[in-house]
Amino acid sequence: MTKDTQGGRRKHTKLWLALAAVAVILAVVIVPPLVSVSRYKARITQLISASLGRPVRLSSVEVRLLPRPGFVLSDLTVDEDPAYGAEPVLHASTVTAPIRLLSLWRGRLEIDSINVDEASVNLVRTKAGHWNLDSLLRTAATQSVASAVSQHKPLKLPFLAATNSRINIKEGAEKLPFSLVEAQISFWQESNGDWRVRLRGQPVRTDISLEMADTGIVRLEATLHQAAQLRQMPVHLDLEWRDAQLGQLTRLILGSDSGWRGGLNGELHLDGTADAAQIKTRLRASGVHREEFAPAEPLDFDANCSFVGHFTSWAIDNLVCDSPLGSGRIRLTGDLPGQDAPPHLSVELDRIPVAAGLDALRTVRSGLGPGLEASGSISGKIAYAPVAADSIPPDDLKKQAHTARARSTKTHPSIPQPLTGSLTIDGFELSGNALSQPIRIPKVVVEPAAAPQSPGDSLFPALAATATFPAGGAAPLAISTRLAAPGYQVTVRGQASVARARELAHVASVAGAAAFDSLAGEPITMDLTADGPWMPAQRLPFGGPPPAAHTGSATQALDSADSLSGTVTLHNANWKADYLANHVQISQATLHLGNGEIRWDPVAFSYGPVKGTASLTVPSVCDGTNPCIPQFHVQFGALDAAVLQAAFLGAHEPGTLLSTLLERLRPASAPAWPPFEVTVKADSLILGPVTLSEPTTALHTIATGAEITAFDAGLLGGRVHGSGTLHSAQTAKDKPSYALNGQFEKVTPAALGRLLGMRWSGGVVTGGGKIELAGFSGKDLADSAKGTMHFEWQHGAVAGAGTLPKALTRFDRWTADGDIANGFLTLKKSQVQRGSSSVPVQASVTLANPPKATFEAPKPAQAKR
């Protein structure tokens, strides 16, 4: 072949390529305007609707030839089945739909694929447990079969693909805060009657802030084959959730961070139908621990499970789960029949470390001592196989009833215990944290608790164990536990030294355990019960309604928080607080826990020469509407003011109480007192020559002292009522100050006269006044006293030693106002009335022990008149 011939062929090839390019350009420029797009809009809508089995709406359609002939759809909306709601199942602003070119040669228009970007997809689950995806597949299959019958060729489902999309999850009409974002979705019909699904996305929660990188990635691949009924449709599904962090995972599922840390990876593989599917799962966790506690060996596990699932009846058969845990293994087997039939399960433990159990407990319960360490191992097997009461043979019930009658008891025929087997804990030792010495128990056997006594009992089946260990008391301390599915119950009975009890309280993070830090004395006696749920109640997505209410303490634990009840009794103890100069001696005290309060009652105490009984009540639950204000009540017998002076007010006496308390009330000193509501009562109070009977004082503490809201006592045959304030000393040179006001009524003149060394008679005396004074000692208080007083006396008579105004020998009414200053009460505006005449009387009273009244002689002019 000559060079000229070869050159000619190259020229012809280039010419044809140029002509083809020109033809394509002309087609791109000329053909689209000539194509009537509107005539295809209804056809495209019909094709997509027939393929998906849902009504479809479009706002506009455009033709696109490059890079591949197809259509550009605007505002694609796929309507929902009314049974699942009114919100569209899918919406996308822009959709590309390439055309199958071979279908054009046959004179038909077929869409090859539907590609959407940034679409919004709604997955809906009804209360009956059905998903709208079920309806979508069922409808699409029906449409495909109908198309094959009518047109002798099945309608092939287009390839559906979505990128950068969002999948929302709804429960009925309610949109849940759970979504998959950045989702990549592919859904296509691989062959007639066979569907493939591929999904990748990141789970998020819309109502809280999450660290997106820690929620993990969800991947799903599934193959579905057409069947006559959906429940008979063969399915192969592979699901995995990778690189999820437990802290963000609990925030995602529960809405709050439960304090767990660690990584989690999960897998699920399913083969079968809804009637019977073989399922294998794998759950791997690494570095699991509480946020506040990092164990030396994190709680890692790799659990593999296999079972046959029956989704139509919500049943599970042949369940087998196996996982290494520490140096041992745990194995779970059984069946869950569903349809309200009881499950049959068994758990086998083989040398499971006790430390793993402690770590698991920390995982679901916060507050345990972070420094605690446990050793020992758990082995054994527990089986759960409940027996319905109506399945007990009648002969057995008759025998049990006959035995009960023979023993003259009211017990009902018992229901067989659903739990069998036992677990043995060998070499248990608990050390670290606040424990000065380890707690060692060589062997503990965990067995099923006693069975319910009658069919009416609704107690949950539980495991129980009892162990004893020395705790410094005359008798060992016994701990009994009851473990059930809803929660736990722990009972502690016996004696323990104060130091050991303090350690145990701190290890268990008991509220108020700090009160034992300043306590010493003989061993204390405990009778305490703690119970509560394993975890706070949380509403899980698609969890269904809560279980029906039952009676019994075990069920109540489902809805209640942890509670601690019982008593702690002290004998011959002493207590020292940082705001007291010396110890308070406690001969006996009982602490009551429960009923929403912490109550010390009674407390028999002495502080120096002062003895009394007291009670202290503190609410255990506090909030903005119910603040925790302790209620303190003190009862004394007969009190002497001199004793009170030395013990409570005497600043110059070492070891006094109130002076130290007042010092602590200074803002610049040690921590201020918390708010207290205080009531003080006594049989009597001797104030020098005056004895108050049954005095009662109500006060509450404030930042700089206290406010006396009410004072009431018997005084000289009558009553006295008052109120006031107390302010502490602000510097070392200051003295506490008082402001008091009160009224007295029905004071008998005979008693008042004896106080002044005189003989008084007649009607009762009433009056009132106010006074301000400061100091610790009686002399300081008397010298600093300033105030006013008013009294009124009807139909009286005064007699006694010394010179008395004649007007006081007998009168109809005596009224007077007086001033208190410089250690005296001086009467002013004092008028004595007899008949129609009125005579002024001047007098003064020394504020001393005993008090002394002095009357001034009347002036000559007054006497003559």
SS3 labels along 530-554: EEEECCCCCCCCCCCCCCCCCCCHH
Residue 706, in any domain of the structure: no
Distance between alpha carbon 39 and the CA centroid of its chain, in Å? Answer: 64
Type of residue at 609: P
Residue 64, in any domain of the structure: yes
Last residue of a domain, one of 147, 179, 207: 207
Residue 50, in any domain of the structure: yes
Q: Are strands 584-594 and 563-575 parallel, antiparallel or unpaired?
A: antiparallel
3 state DSSP class of 537: coil
Residue 263, in any domain of the structure: no
Lowest mean pLDDT across 43-52, 150-159, 529-538, 580-589? 150-159
3 state DSSP class of 151: helix
Last residue of a domain, one of 154, 183, 207: 207
Question: Are residues 384 and 344 in contact, defined by beta-carbon separation less than 8 angstroms?
Answer: yes
Q: What is the pLDDT of residues 670-713, one digit of tens each?
A: 445 667 899 999 999 887 778 899 999 999 888 777 899 999 99
Given this model, what pLDDT does residue 865 score? 42
- The predicted model gives 203-207 an average pLDDT of 86
Per-residue pLDDT for 177 more than 90? no
Q: Which residues contact 209 (CB under 8 A, 6 or more apart)?
A: none
pTM (predicted TM-score): 0.67
Given this model, what pLDDT does residue 154 score? 45
More confident residue, 37 or 465: 465
Residue that the structure tokens 């039939």 belong to: 341
DSSP 8-class letter at 343: P
Spatial distance between the Cα atoms of 795 and 428, rounded to a whole number of angstroms: 86
CB atoms closer than 10 angstroms to residue 228: 9
How many domains does the chain fold into? 2
Q: What percent of the chain has pLDDT over 90?
A: 28
Q: What is the pLDDT of residues 358-390, one digit of tens each?
A: 877 776 666 666 678 889 999 999 999 886 545
* pLDDT mean across residues, the chain: 78
Compute φ and ψ for 555, nearest 5 degrees: -70, -35
Spatial distance between the Cα atoms of 656 and 520, rounded to a whole number of angstroms: 20
DSSP 8-class letter at 516: G
Q: What is the pLDDT of residues 295-309, one digit of tens each?
A: 666 667 889 999 999
Spatial distance between the Cα atoms of 760 and 752, rounded to a whole number of angstroms: 7
More confident residue, 558 or 758: 758
Per-residue pLDDT for 557 more than 90? no
Question: Are residues 240 and 215 in contact, defined by beta-carbon separation less than 8 angstroms?
Answer: no
Given this model, what pLDDT does residue 393 score? 55
Residue 283, in any domain of the structure: no
How many residues would you count in the chain?
865
Q: What is the pLDDT of residues 53-101, one digit of tens each?
A: 788 888 888 777 677 777 788 888 888 888 888 888 888 888 887 776 5
Helix, strand, coil distribution of the chain in percent, nearest 5: 20, 50, 30
Nearest to 516 by CA among 529, 530, 503: 503
Nearest to 609 by CA among 661, 663, 648, 658: 648
Question: Are residues 269 and 279 in contact, defined by beta-carbon separation less than 8 angstroms?
Answer: yes
Q: Which residues contact 804 (CB under 8 A, 6 or more apart)?
A: 798, 855
CB atoms closer than 10 angstroms to residue 514: 11
Question: Are residues 320 and 305 in contact, defined by beta-carbon separation less than 8 angstroms?
Answer: yes
Residue 795, in any domain of the structure: yes
pLDDT band at 494 (very low <50, low <70, confident <90, very high): very high
Residue 572, in any domain of the structure: no
The parent domain of residue 201 ranges over 26-207
Omega before residue 619 within 30° of 0, cis: no
Cα-based angle 511, 515, 516 (whole degrees, multiple of 5) = 105
Per-residue pLDDT for 661 more than 50? no
DSSP 8-class letter at 645: I
pLDDT band at 126 (very low <50, low <70, confident <90, very high): confident
Strand ranges (DSSP E) for 359-438?
372-384, 419-432
Residue 834, in any domain of the structure: yes
Given this model, what pLDDT does residue 116 score? 86
Lowest mean pLDDT across 213-222, 454-463, 700-709? 454-463
Question: Are residues 271 and 252 in contact, defined by beta-carbon separation less than 8 angstroms?
Answer: no
Given this model, what pLDDT does residue 835 score? 87
Given this model, what pLDDT does residue 667 score? 40
Max Cα separation, the chain? Answer: 172
More confident residue, 247 or 602: 602
Q: Which residues contact 538 (CB under 8 A, 6 or more apart)?
A: 254, 255
499, with CB counted inside 10 A (0-12, 13-18, 19+), is: middle
Last residue of a domain, one of 207, 227, 249: 207
Per-residue pLDDT for 141 more than 60? no
CB atoms closer than 10 angstroms to residue 812: 17
Per-residue pLDDT for 668 more than 60? no
Q: Are strands 786-799 and 60-64 parallel, antiparallel or unpaired?
A: unpaired
Given this model, what pLDDT does residue 486 score? 82
Distance, first Cα to last Cα, the chain: 170
pLDDT band at 544 (very low <50, low <70, confident <90, very high): very low
Question: Are residues 598 and 581 in contact, defined by beta-carbon separation less than 8 angstroms?
Answer: no
The dihedral built from the CA positions of residue 549, 555, 558 and 559, taken in this order, carries a sign that is: positive
Spatial distance between the Cα atoms of 723 and 699, rounded to a whole number of angstroms: 9
Given this model, what pLDDT does residue 408 score? 47
Given this model, what pLDDT does residue 525 score? 93
Spatial distance between the Cα atoms of 382 and 240, rounded to a whole number of angstroms: 32
Given this model, what pLDDT does residue 148 score? 45
